[in-house]
Chain A
Amino acid sequence: EVQLVESGGGLVQPGGSLRLSCAASGFAFGEYWVQWIRQAPGKGLAWVARINSDGRTTIYADSVKGRFTISRDNAKNTLFLQMNSLRVEDTAIYFCSRDFRFGADYWGQGTLVTVSS
């Protein structure tokens, strides 16, 4: 069974940093592109970043470019999102998902990031 489990969310002050993790199981993690997608409270989905199977190609939404870094450890079947210079508008549930035909076929349950003073 494919599973994605996010962790690392929490409360952080504006300007602070946070590192999210996503533990994958049930599939050949190292063969898939994976991505982060977020959802602000009461709002819609917003794509954040993608990373290719070997970790050498990373792509970001304009809203997080230069502040967030996506990475992966295929030996540990884990996806990461390093978030720096956090802003109030980054407050959201962050989902990791497996890329499938330029969509997302499996999703984690999400981890809540709250940026507030």
Chain B
Amino acid sequence: QSALTQPPSASGSPGQSVTISCTGTSSDVGRYNYVSWYQQYPGKAPKLMIFEVSERPSGVPDRFLGSKSGNMASLTVSGLQAEDEADYYCGSYAGNNVFVFGGGTKLTVL
């Protein structure tokens, strides 16, 4: 049950695109297409942004794009807006009904 690896920080200017990586292993990210991404503002509960690698829940802007290659998943936020500044966490199913999160990435909009 090792945590997934995310960069601690990422940044971009308004209108630009930024990609956040999430590195796991062949036992979690690499094996299952159950990668999800969460946005969290300070003092608030996380919000589901992406599920099953690249699916967006209703209401999530299509500026948020999820993908996966091998043991690494990615979240790309295009057309950055000030409101995108938040912490982002990836999560993955790891088999045997176990779930694992990444350490989180603080996204700063410059």
Which of A35, A44, A107 has the most chain B CB atoms inside 10 A of its CB?
A44
In chain B between 13 and 64, which residues have their CB closer than 8 angstroms to a CB of chain A? 32, 34, 36, 38, 40, 45-48, 51-52, 55, 57
With a cutoff of 8 Å between Cβ atoms, the chain A residues found around residue B45 in the complex are 95, 107-110
At the interface, yes or no: B69 with Cβ under 8 Å from chain A? no
A-B residue pair count with CB separations less than 8 angstroms: 66
Residue numbers in B under 8 Å from A45 (CB-CB): 38, 40, 46, 89, 91, 101, 104
Chain A residues lying within 8 Å of B57, measured Cβ to Cβ, are 105
Residue of B at shortest CB range from A58?
A: B97
Inter-chain CA distance A108–B45, complex, in Å, is: 7
Q: Roughly how many angstroms separate A46 CA and B104 CA in the complex, as a whole number?
A: 11
Q: How far apart sit A103 and B12, CA to CA, in the bound complex (Å)?
A: 27
- Which residues of chain B from 61 to 110 have a CB within 8 Å of any chain A CB? 89, 91, 93, 96-104
A88 at interface, CB cutoff 8 A: no
Residue A11 CB within 8 A of the other chain = no
A62 x B34 contact (CB < 8 A): no
**Contacts known (A45-B38, A107-B46); A102 close to B104, Cβ less than 8 A:** no
Looking at chain A's contact residues, the main secondary structure is strand
Q: Which residues of B contact A (CB under 8 A)?
A: 1, 3, 32, 34, 36, 38, 40, 45-48, 51-52, 55, 57, 89, 91, 93, 96-104
A-B contact pairs, 11 of them (CB 8 A): A44-B103, A45-B104, A46-B101, A47-B101, A63-B1, A95-B46, A104-B91, A105-B48, A107-B45, A107-B46, A110-B45
